[in-house]
Amino acid sequence: MTDLPLDRLAAICGPAQVLTGADAAPYGQSWVKSYSAQPGAVVRPGSTQEVAAIMRLAQETRTPIVPMGGNTGVTGATQARDAVILSTERLDRIREIRTQARVAVAEAGVVVATLQEAVAAQGLTFPLMFGARGSARIGGVLSTNAGGANVLRYGNTRALCLGLEAVLPDGRVMDLTSALLKDNSGYDLRQLLIGAEGTLGVITAAVMKLFPTPAAYATAMVAMPSLDGALDLLNRLQSESSGAVEAFEIMPQSYFTRLRETRPGLRAPLGHDHAFTLLIELGATARRDAVAGPDGTVPIVALLEEVLAAALEKDQIADAVVARSDTQRADLWHLREIAAEITLDRAPLVDTDIAVPPDQVGAALARLEARLVAMDAGAYSVTVGHLGDGNLHYTMFPTRDDAALLDALREMVEDVVAEFGGSFSAEHGVGRSKRPSMRRRKDPVALDMMRAIKTAIDPQGVMNPGVLLP
């Protein structure tokens, strides 16, 4: 575009921090290729004050601004054709780590894994665990309320945030960087910005909760003939371990079929032909659970083995393997964390991110499969998810690239989810891909309230236009 205020942006951040043309192109290339678009420009502020100046300029010139963190999203929320991408990559300071309060103050551009490495030196962990943590940034995971494998124990990103600093669309800086566990002083504006996908302002820093690093892990891959006994297994593990279950992941047979097709060199320790495979992990922080006894047995590992042995004896599970080293644990997790690479690497596809009550996961999957085949006889699906919180990534591969069919399949999934009292969007956000779902499924009164909030805070509509709201 020729009408973007490039010279004035350069005056704020420096000419080297305003990118256009070929230099800006990589920021428009999402790894989910269907959402790629050439941005008008990319600006890379280095401070909250520079973000504020950019937003004042955007208001004056009515320039659309699209905040971007690590560009790891899958819903098209950072597509910025002819708009200005505001990259937070230079807002990358960890301002403070307070070990006794167990909080860290991190700027929006801090990579999740970088924060995890920094606090690990203090014996603490930031427990947001998902495959893209090596590139995803704090501002992005807050803006999408990211989930991951450890939600069962620690909650989504929303539950990990105590305070925020954000720049509003008019350039004012809102400082909510309190580290208080209790603050009952009016509307919770922090929670309003979390999950808003950059439509209400630019998150520039956050106060994030930290937790003791488990001194020992017990990790297992478990094969099950059905999901009938899965929650019984989870509940027993939770009771026996006093709530130490960190992950309870599900990989149906279709997942391992896809894994064998795309990564034939990867060995699945239990084979590829079980109806369901679970990845289970417990984390022990108490010395009594984490320190090996005279015989070398680690109590938390022994507990997991004991529960699995009882389940095997009752025919609730078909097989199991328990990690005996950090390397074996990493290998088991790699089979799960490669999910996005093996499911989003071909087209056409319809990827969904749904949630149903955990005790309805098996029934919901069966209904989805039946309706998929009825609509497109040659289609197939690949599923992976977080069984402990009922979140499934159900990806369909139809036989033809027909826009009407793709939308009908997405609407079919919405129907099934609604029948089970679930949600069409669990942890990836809405972005652009789920706006039709918002129009069809979101409560109309809730949509009215959301539009009213958007209009009140961003009356010019400069913040990430075309995202979230139908």
CATH of 346-429 given 3.30.450.20, 3.40.50.11720, 3.30.70.2740, 2.60.40.1170? 3.30.70.2740
E strand or H helix that includes residue 58: helix 48-61
**140 φ/ψ sector (left φ>0, alpha ψ -120 to 50, else beta):** alpha
What are 441's two structure tokens? 């499924």
Tell me the pLDDT band of 419, cut-offs 50, 70 and 90.
very high
How far, in Å, are 9, 348, 467 from residue 79 at the CA level?
A: 20, 20, 9
Nearest to 65 by CA among 45, 36, 47, 90: 45
pLDDT at 346: 82
Q: What share of the chain is helix, strand, coil (3-state, %, to 5)?
A: 40, 20, 40
CA distance 270 to 284: 25
Evaluate if residue 2 carries a pLDDT over 50. no
Q: With a cut of 70, say whether residue 1 has pLDDT above it.
A: no
The reported pLDDT for the residue numbered 279 is: 98
pTM value is: 0.94
Confidence of residue 208 (pLDDT cuts 50, 70, 90): very high
Contact 153, 138 (CB under 8 A): no
% of the chain with per-residue pLDDT over 90: 92
Give tens-digit pLDDT for 224-265.
Answer: 999 999 999 999 999 999 999 999 999 999 999 999 999 999
Helix H or strand E segment including 417: helix 403-419
The contacts of residue 361 (CB under 8 Å, 6+ apart) are 227, 230, 250, 385, 387, 390, 392
6-87 and 346-429 in the same fold? no
Using CA atoms, how far apart are residues 163 and 165, in angstroms rounded to an integer? 7
CATH of domain 216-339: 3.30.70.2190
3-class SS of residue 389: helix
Residues contacting residue 197 through CB under 8 Å, at least 6 positions apart: 77, 143, 144, 429, 430, 431, 464, 467, 468
Residue 93 has pLDDT above 90, yes or no: yes
Give me the CATH code for the 94-212 domain, please. Answer: 3.30.465.10
Residue 36 burial by Cβ neighbours in a 10 Å radius (0-12, 13-18, 19+): middle
Is residue 82 scored above 90 in pLDDT?
no
More confident residue, 35 or 305: 305
Report yes or no: 111 and 137 within 8 Å, Cβ to Cβ. yes
Contact 290, 283 (CB under 8 A): no
CA distance 254 to 421: 25
Residue 398 and residue 416 in contact, taking contact as beta carbons nearer than 8 Å = no
Each domain of the chain, given as residue ranges in start order, spans: 6-87, 94-212, 216-339, 346-429
The topology (CATH level 3) of 6-87 is 3.30.43
Question: What is the pLDDT at residue 62?
Answer: 96
If you average pLDDT over every residue of the chain, what do you get? 95
pLDDT tens per residue across span 261-303: 999 999 899 988 899 999 999 999 999 999 999 998 999 999 9
**For residue 272, what pLDDT is reported?**
83
**Which pLDDT does position 31 carry in this prediction?**
72
C-beta of residue 79 within 8 angstroms of C-beta of residue 35: yes
